[in-house]
Structure 1
Amino acid sequence: GQIVLYFSGIAILISCLGLFGLAAFTAEQRTKEIGVRKVLGASVSSIVALLSKDFLKLVLIAIVVASPIAWFAMNRWLQDFAYKIDIEWWVFALAGLLAVGIALLTVSFQSVKAALMNPVKSLKSE
């Protein structure tokens, strides 16, 4: 029980680090666009929403693809048990909401950092 929890935490941490790196790379690639948007009056929240939207799409696609596969695999595995346990739909909904929350928290940190950057620096770089 404890070892599974420990390795699950490590897996979530590694995936968050990858997502954070991807968000940092995307924000770096779009610094000029972010600078222009800030000069034209975009708010920090609109820039964060702009950068988070792409990652939210990826997470939602992953949930839609992975949930039926996970349900099928768990259902086949649980058939061999002496006491039949049904998998409820809310388990997948909760896991999906948790994944979306973790992804938004990870990406929002980098998005806020990019949105608060001085637009003069980003426009002056080239």
Structure 2
Amino acid sequence: MPSGENSIKWGRKGQIIGVVKDFHFRSLQSEIKPLSFRIEPDGCDLISANVKTADLKNTVSAIEAKWKAIIPNRPFSYYFADEFFNRQYMGEERFGKLFLNFAVLAILISCLGLLGLASYSTLQRTKEIGVRKVLGASVTGIINLLSKEFMQLVIIAFLIATPITWYFMASWLKDFYYRISVQWWIFVLAGGAAFLIAWLTISVQAIRAAMTNPVKSLRTE
């Protein structure tokens, strides 16, 4: 309704004195709905004050003193608007931090597992590595040989995890009325990062085996 027109709300008539653009007064999980502010001089429950944060403690104390002087029969309580709105997203923030911690822990455990498997595989193929080096195999070739089978497993794991991850991400985003769409490049970036981390983890052991003197490798029983 344009400014200047009359309106009726809860059985009381009034005049519209201003219209503003839509804004979020609830969580992004909710759609922006119509909102009206009504001037009620005899029914005021809250007072909104714009304060500077330079000396916030003394500012709040001064406001409390004025409150007790003017309205001594009502207790003084206050909250900050930014904290009030931030509480709407505390659940998502806690979930994000928890998910990040578990993701880092999972990556560390996976790297330790890959390192153990690479060490065992290298130990089992010690003589093979020595023979290949004697026959002229390069360090790069031996690294590729040792990491090839592990990289194939990482690719298979990525292909299995991608549709599952996309499904759960899309389901979680459905709870938000205003949301982004799941882009394909996110999975490519995550897969590339997983591939790189796995390759670096395996390469540590592969490089050590490739640089070993082939004479020592062939003497290994």
- TM-score interval (norm. to shorter): over 0.9
Q: Could you tell me how far 1:80 is from its partner in structure 2? A: 1.9
Matched, 1:73 2:174: no
Matched, 1:120 2:218: no
Distance 1:6 1:32 in 2: 41
* Superposed CA RMSD: 1.3
Equivalent position amino acid for 1:19 in 2: L
TM-score after normalising by structure 1? 0.92
Counterpart position of 1:37: 132
2:142–2:210 contact (8 Å) kept in structure 1: yes
Q: 1:21-76, CA deviations, whole angstroms, 9 ceiling, x for partnerless residues?
A: 11111111111110110111111111001111111111111111110111012112
Counterparts in 2 of 1:75 and 1:102: CA distance versus 1, 3 Å: same
Identity fraction in percent = 59
Counterpart position of 1:25: 120
Q: Could you tell me how far 1:2 is from its partner in structure 2? A: 4.1
Distance 2:207 2:218 in 1: 18
Mapping for residues 39-118 of structure 1, pairs under 5 Å: 39-118=134-213
Counterparts in 2 of 1:76 and 1:4: CA distance versus 1, 3 Å: closer
What is the DSSP-based 3-state SS (H/G/I as helix, E as strand, rest coil) of the residue aligned with 2:171?
helix
Equivalent position amino acid for 2:108 in 1: L
Q: Could you tell me how far 1:12 is from its partner in structure 2? A: 1.2
Gaps of 5+ in 2: 1-95
Q: Which moved more, 1:12-21 or 1:72-81?
A: 72-81
Distance 1:40 1:48 in 2: 16
Q: Could you tell me how far 1:8 is from its partner in structure 2? A: 2.4
Q: Could you tell me how far 1:102 is from its partner in structure 2? A: 0.2
Counterparts in 2 of 1:4 and 1:74: CA distance versus 1, 3 Å: closer
2:143–2:206 contact (8 Å) kept in structure 1: yes
Bigger fraction of residues in helix:
1
